[in-house]
Amino acid sequence: MMRSKLFVPGSRPELFEKAMASAADALSFDLEDAVTPDKKEEARRRTSDFLVSLGREHAKLRIVRVNPVASPQFAEDVAAVVTVGTDLVNLPKLESAEEVRRGVEAVIAAEKRKGLTHKTGILINLESPKGLRFANEIACAHERVSGVQFGVGDLFAPYRIERHDAALAPVRLAAKMAAAEAGVPAFDTVFVNVADTLGLERDTIAGKRMGYSGKSCIHPSQVAIVNAVYTPREAEIAWAQKVLAAAADPANKGLGAFVVDGRMVDEPFFLEARATVELAKRLKLIN
């Protein structure tokens, strides 16, 4: 589970170790928007070297946001950063299922060339009106897709849409439903006003209520607030344990749905309960 994902510019290697020491569950090394054209080559080399040095085993999830599939930078990005230390490749600005498949093909080819034994997952970005319109097809394009997220900067700014709850709600729901159809988690967009901690908390809670599993952060100071919101409460853990216990009860064997504490539960509840219990165990909130 990824509660918090901290962006790190690939062109700022002096920040890599600091980011690794943060409380973020995942790091997203950015080769796209955070890197100017003259720094692209250096950024991919620095990022690749650092990820290789980490090796396979590490508590943090390691993600690399590459340049768009259609860009001239994409092939070199993938060739460099699909490494033993990379868990996910983040494909930005997607607008079709075909782009996802092309991205996956490039990742698989890089794995084969390097003799990697683990499968690199794909995190997809919805960042345009067209991408949002084809969200479900994009999310379901390949079994390697491991998560869905959206970006409001590219989605809103060109059309003079202000960021506010009325605009965010339908986008959050569309991205979440696409992720749900694909059977993968959805991750919420960034909150850009680093100084507004109350606003960040409200925004994070809104995402969690929409079914999101975590949120992107642009500054280390945001991580603690995001982690706190997405850390399951005692009541949530207790309910999840009850649901799983009921699912394991022989009396409910063969039943697609049954009642727990007066509430009907079925497969989506079981999936959510398992995810909650797994996260609680990882955080050592329960044994």
Q: Which of 5, 137, 143 is nearest to 63 (CA)?
A: 5
Which run of H or E residues covers position 15?
Answer: none
In the three-class reduction of DSSP (H, G, I as helix; E, B as strand; rest coil), residue 133 is classed as helix
> Looking at this protein, which amino acid is placed at residue 130?
K
Average pLDDT by stretches of 10, the chain with 287 residues? 95 96 96 95 97 88 97 97 97 98 98 96 98 98 98 94 94 97 96 97 97 97 98 94 91 85 87 91 91
Q: What is the pLDDT of residue 266?
A: 86
Domains, the chain, ordered by start: 4-230 (3.20.20.60), 234-282 (no CATH)
Token duo for residue 107? 């990742």
pTM: 0.93
Give bridge partners of residue 259 from the DSSP assignment: 264
Q: What is the pLDDT of residue 57?
A: 77
The bridge status of strand 258-260 relative to strand 263-265 is antiparallel
SS (H, E, C) 17-50: HHHHCCCCCEEEEECCCCCCHHHHHHHHHHHHHH
In the three-class reduction of DSSP (H, G, I as helix; E, B as strand; rest coil), residue 149 is classed as strand
Tracing tokens 């059309």 back to the chain, one arrives at 159
Q: Which of 197, 106, 101, 212 is nearest to 150 (CA)?
A: 212
Q: What is the pLDDT of residue 58?
A: 78
* Radius of gyration of the chain, Cα coordinates, nearest whole angstrom: 19
Q: What are phi and psi of 34, to 5 degrees?
A: -80, 0
CA distance 265 to 246: 10
